[in-house]
Amino acid sequence: LYLAVPWGGVVYGTIWIITLAMITNWMPFGMRVVSANMSQIHSELEEASYVAGASWTRTFRRVFLPLLSPGLLAAWIWVTVHAFRNVSIPLMLFTRENQTVGVQIFNIYERGSYNGVAALGVTLIIILSLLVLLAQQIGKRFGVKQTGK
Protein backbone atom coordinates (compact mmCIF):
# COMPACT_ATOMS: atom_id res chain seq x y z
CA LEU A 1 0.00 0.00 0.00
CA TYR A 2 2.97 2.33 0.14
CA LEU A 3 3.80 4.40 -2.89
CA ALA A 4 7.43 5.48 -2.91
CA VAL A 5 8.44 8.56 -4.85
CA PRO A 6 11.77 9.10 -6.60
CA TRP A 7 13.05 11.61 -4.02
CA GLY A 8 12.88 8.96 -1.30
CA GLY A 9 9.66 9.71 0.52
CA VAL A 10 6.52 7.70 1.07
CA VAL A 11 3.28 9.21 -0.18
CA TYR A 12 0.76 7.01 1.65
CA GLY A 13 -0.71 8.67 4.70
CA THR A 14 0.15 12.18 3.52
CA ILE A 15 -1.87 14.90 1.88
CA TRP A 16 0.00 14.17 -1.36
CA ILE A 17 -1.78 10.85 -1.90
CA ILE A 18 -5.13 12.64 -1.69
CA THR A 19 -3.85 15.30 -4.09
CA LEU A 20 -2.61 12.65 -6.52
CA ALA A 21 -5.92 10.75 -6.35
CA MET A 22 -7.96 13.93 -6.88
CA ILE A 23 -5.82 14.98 -9.84
CA THR A 24 -6.19 11.51 -11.35
CA ASN A 25 -9.95 11.61 -10.81
CA TRP A 26 -10.61 15.12 -12.12
CA MET A 27 -7.98 15.47 -14.88
CA PRO A 28 -10.22 14.05 -17.65
CA PHE A 29 -12.89 16.64 -16.91
CA GLY A 30 -10.42 19.52 -16.93
CA MET A 31 -8.72 18.24 -20.07
CA ARG A 32 -12.06 18.07 -21.85
CA VAL A 33 -12.59 21.79 -21.29
CA VAL A 34 -9.01 22.68 -22.23
CA SER A 35 -8.97 20.47 -25.34
CA ALA A 36 -12.13 22.15 -26.60
CA ASN A 37 -10.35 25.47 -26.14
CA MET A 38 -7.19 24.21 -27.84
CA SER A 39 -9.10 22.93 -30.87
CA GLN A 40 -10.22 26.49 -31.59
CA ILE A 41 -6.64 27.78 -31.92
CA HIS A 42 -5.58 27.45 -35.53
CA SER A 43 -2.11 26.12 -36.36
CA GLU A 44 -1.46 29.13 -38.63
CA LEU A 45 -0.92 31.26 -35.51
CA GLU A 46 1.91 28.96 -34.44
CA GLU A 47 3.38 28.91 -37.95
CA ALA A 48 3.24 32.72 -38.16
CA SER A 49 5.10 32.96 -34.87
CA TYR A 50 7.82 30.60 -36.10
CA VAL A 51 8.13 32.53 -39.37
CA ALA A 52 8.59 35.71 -37.34
CA GLY A 53 11.54 34.04 -35.62
CA ALA A 54 10.03 33.15 -32.26
CA SER A 55 11.14 30.07 -30.37
CA TRP A 56 8.72 27.43 -29.09
CA THR A 57 8.74 28.89 -25.57
CA ARG A 58 8.12 32.42 -26.82
CA THR A 59 5.33 31.14 -29.10
CA PHE A 60 3.74 29.35 -26.16
CA ARG A 61 4.04 32.38 -23.86
CA ARG A 62 2.93 35.02 -26.38
CA VAL A 63 0.44 33.15 -28.59
CA PHE A 64 -0.97 30.06 -26.92
CA LEU A 65 -1.07 31.05 -23.26
CA PRO A 66 -3.13 34.23 -23.77
CA LEU A 67 -5.59 32.31 -25.94
CA LEU A 68 -5.72 29.31 -23.60
CA SER A 69 -5.92 31.20 -20.32
CA PRO A 70 -9.74 31.64 -20.27
CA GLY A 71 -10.19 27.91 -20.88
CA LEU A 72 -7.56 27.00 -18.31
CA LEU A 73 -9.21 29.26 -15.75
CA ALA A 74 -12.66 27.85 -16.52
CA ALA A 75 -11.38 24.29 -16.20
CA TRP A 76 -9.59 25.07 -12.93
CA ILE A 77 -12.66 26.68 -11.38
CA TRP A 78 -15.00 23.92 -12.58
CA VAL A 79 -12.74 21.18 -11.24
CA THR A 80 -12.14 23.05 -7.96
CA VAL A 81 -15.85 23.52 -7.29
CA HIS A 82 -16.56 19.84 -7.92
CA ALA A 83 -13.48 18.57 -6.09
CA PHE A 84 -14.38 20.51 -2.94
CA ARG A 85 -17.61 18.58 -2.59
CA ASN A 86 -15.98 15.21 -3.24
CA VAL A 87 -15.95 13.00 -0.16
CA SER A 88 -15.31 9.47 -1.42
CA ILE A 89 -11.63 9.76 -2.40
CA PRO A 90 -10.45 11.69 0.69
CA LEU A 91 -12.56 9.45 2.93
CA MET A 92 -10.65 6.39 1.74
CA LEU A 93 -7.20 7.99 1.97
CA PHE A 94 -7.27 10.35 4.94
CA THR A 95 -5.39 10.01 8.21
CA ARG A 96 -5.66 12.11 11.34
CA GLU A 97 -3.07 14.55 10.00
CA ASN A 98 -4.58 15.19 6.56
CA GLN A 99 -8.34 15.62 6.69
CA THR A 100 -10.08 17.54 3.93
CA VAL A 101 -13.23 19.63 4.30
CA GLY A 102 -15.41 16.76 3.08
CA VAL A 103 -13.90 14.41 5.65
CA GLN A 104 -14.39 17.04 8.37
CA ILE A 105 -18.07 17.36 7.45
CA PHE A 106 -18.45 13.59 7.52
CA ASN A 107 -16.73 13.32 10.92
CA ILE A 108 -18.84 16.10 12.43
CA TYR A 109 -21.96 14.38 11.09
CA GLU A 110 -20.86 11.05 12.61
CA ARG A 111 -20.48 12.74 16.01
CA GLY A 112 -24.08 13.96 15.75
CA SER A 113 -23.33 17.69 15.60
CA TYR A 114 -25.80 18.63 12.89
CA ASN A 115 -25.45 22.34 13.63
CA GLY A 116 -21.72 22.09 12.96
CA VAL A 117 -22.38 20.23 9.71
CA ALA A 118 -24.86 22.91 8.64
CA ALA A 119 -22.45 25.74 9.53
CA LEU A 120 -19.54 24.15 7.68
CA GLY A 121 -21.80 23.33 4.73
CA VAL A 122 -23.06 26.90 4.47
CA THR A 123 -19.49 28.21 4.72
CA LEU A 124 -18.44 25.87 1.93
CA ILE A 125 -21.39 26.94 -0.22
CA ILE A 126 -20.51 30.62 0.29
CA ILE A 127 -16.86 30.06 -0.63
CA LEU A 128 -17.73 28.07 -3.74
CA SER A 129 -20.42 30.57 -4.74
CA LEU A 130 -17.87 33.38 -4.52
CA LEU A 131 -15.53 31.33 -6.69
CA VAL A 132 -18.29 30.84 -9.28
CA LEU A 133 -19.14 34.55 -9.19
CA LEU A 134 -15.48 35.37 -9.73
CA ALA A 135 -15.45 33.05 -12.74
CA GLN A 136 -18.55 34.73 -14.14
CA GLN A 137 -17.01 38.18 -13.73
CA ILE A 138 -13.81 37.08 -15.43
CA GLY A 139 -15.88 35.50 -18.20
CA LYS A 140 -17.80 38.73 -18.73
CA ARG A 141 -14.61 40.73 -18.88
CA PHE A 142 -12.47 38.45 -21.05
CA GLY A 143 -15.06 36.20 -22.72
CA VAL A 144 -16.44 36.25 -26.20
CA LYS A 145 -18.49 39.35 -26.79
CA GLN A 146 -21.44 39.06 -29.12
CA THR A 147 -22.94 41.93 -30.98
CA GLY A 148 -26.62 41.34 -31.51
CA LYS A 149 -29.25 42.99 -33.60
**What is the rounded distance in angstroms from the CA atom of residue 70 to the CA atom of residue 78?**
12
5 touches 80 (CB < 8 A): no
Quick check: 141 pLDDT over 80? no
117 touches 62 (CB < 8 A): no
Quick check: 59 pLDDT over 50? yes
Across 16-20, 48-52, 59-63, 129-133, least confident range: 16-20
Quick check: 103 pLDDT over 80? yes
- 3-state secondary structure (DSSP) of residue 4: strand
pLDDT in tens, 10-58: 777 778 888 888 889 999 998 998 898 888 888 898 899 999 999 999 9
The whole-number pLDDT of residue 149 equals 55
What share of the chain in percent tops pLDDT 90?
22
Q: Which residue did the predictor score with more confidence, 62 or 149? A: 62
**What is the rounded distance in angstroms from the CA atom of residue 121 to the CA atom of residue 85?**
10
The whole-number pLDDT of residue 57 equals 92
84 touches 124 (CB < 8 A): yes
Average of pLDDT values for 106-135?
91
Q: Which of 68, 75, 81 is nearest to 132 (CA)?
A: 81
Contacts of 107 (CB under 8 A, 6+ apart): 99
How crowded is residue 139: how many other Cβ atoms within 10 Å of its Cβ?
14
* pTM for this prediction: 0.69
Quick check: 109 pLDDT over 90? yes
Average pLDDT, the chain: 84
pLDDT in tens, 85-102: 788 888 888 888 888 888
The whole-number pLDDT of residue 1 equals 45
